[in-house]
Amino acid sequence: MFWYIISLNEEREADFNLKFNLKNVPENVVITTGLPSNVKVTLKDRGAQLLSYKYSGGLPTINIDFKNHDLQSGHVVLKNSDITKILLAKLQPTTKVTAISPSVLEYYYNFGLHAKKPVVLRASLDAEKFYNIAAVKLYPDSVNVYASKQILDTLTAVYTEFISLTQLKERTVRRVSLEKIKGTKMDPEKTLLRIDIDQITEKSVTVPIKWVNFPATKVLKTFPSKVKVTFQVGTTIYKQIKAEDFVIVVNYEEVLKNDDGKLHLSLKSIPTGVSHIRIIPEDVDYLIEDVSEDE
């Protein structure tokens, strides 16, 4: 107890959290980036006095009068010396301020200038096996950004904080925060991410082989004339995918370059939403016949 009492009378340093209140802000002013919510201040005094600050509810709130600072530039930097002066006036005369962190205290504001900007999702999304990501939507997909004209003129979009979701197999909804940009305020500050998941199934259609750019006296015949196209597709759009959505075309120039007696087929048009496409057979026999122009 003796040594404890002795230590309370010795000069020590301790860290405290300092809170700020920006007062007298006009109704037509929007604070786009406020003062830091967590400011650490280091005080030096007798141990007993530091304990008194700690157990008496912490340090008093520092009031910053908006009207006492720059009212035009949209950016105010508060000097540490001014903060120290205000704080010391609320503390005991023996107390000293040895450090304030962050070292720069500032806030940004404007007079309601804003613009609507699109929201871009930053994410890594992956569905579980046999499932597919059918749609990814943001609500809202654009937000009002309050900032200076210079920032608004150069800002093309705002981005979400990065989110990673894996092994998805059902509709997933997440509220995602927007990345903060110094000197701006976004309304709203979050967006709702909805990921629609679809179960994958397999489907096959029969697609005819078409030919283009052949001379009028030439006709292409392939064996077979139609092939099977097999693919994976989500159940929600299963019925929407038709054979007409796939196009297999053989160009006359490709045939002239061919020297192995078979044509290798490839798709020239593929509908959205399908994957793992296979053509059966992928190589076909062919024959070019001469026909009379009178026929």
Among 268, 132, 125, 112, CA closest to 193: 125
* Mean pLDDT of all residues in 197-206: 94
The CATH number assigned to the domain holding 81 equals 2.170.120.30
Same domain, 104 and 150: no
The pLDDT value recorded for residue 73 is 84
Same domain, 98 and 138: no
Same domain, 193 and 216: no
Same domain, 85 and 172: no
What would the pLDDT profile of 15-32 be if each residue is shown by its tens digit? Answer: 999 999 999 999 899 999
Q: Is the pLDDT of residue 5 over 50?
A: no
Same domain, 23 and 105: yes
What would the pLDDT profile of 130-187 be if each residue is shown by its tens digit? Answer: 898 989 999 999 999 999 999 999 999 999 999 999 999 999 999 999 999 999 999 9
Q: Is the pLDDT of residue 82 over 70?
A: yes
Q: Is the pLDDT of residue 289 over 90?
A: no
What would the pLDDT profile of 244-280 be if each residue is shown by its tens digit? Answer: 999 999 988 888 888 778 888 989 999 988 989 999 9
- Residue 43: pLDDT band with limits 50, 70, 90: very high
Same domain, 106 and 120: no
The pLDDT value recorded for residue 72 is 81
**Is 284 within the bounds of a domain?**
yes
Domain that holds residue 252: 200-290
Same domain, 267 and 216: yes
The pLDDT value recorded for residue 136 is 95
**Is 295 within the bounds of a domain?**
no
**Is 47 within the bounds of a domain?**
yes
Q: What span, in angstroms and rounded, lies between the C-alpha atoms of 184 and 75?
A: 11
Same domain, 148 and 106: no
Q: What is the mean pLDDT of the chain?
A: 90
**DSSP structural state of residue 239:** G
* Mean pLDDT of all residues in 61-68: 90
254 burial type by CB count under 10 A (0-12 exposed, 13-18 middle, 19+ buried): middle
**Is 28 within the bounds of a domain?**
yes
Same domain, 6 and 101: yes
**Tokens 């026999």 -> residue:** 285
Same domain, 64 and 92: yes
The CATH number assigned to the domain holding 149 equals 2.170.120.40
Number of domains in the chain: 3
Q: Is the pLDDT of residue 8 over 80?
A: no
Same domain, 71 and 119: no
> Which ranges of 41-174 would DSSP assign to H, the alpha helix?
47-55, 80-88, 149-154
> Which ranges of the chain would DSSP assign to H, the alpha helix?
2-9, 47-55, 80-88, 149-154, 252-257
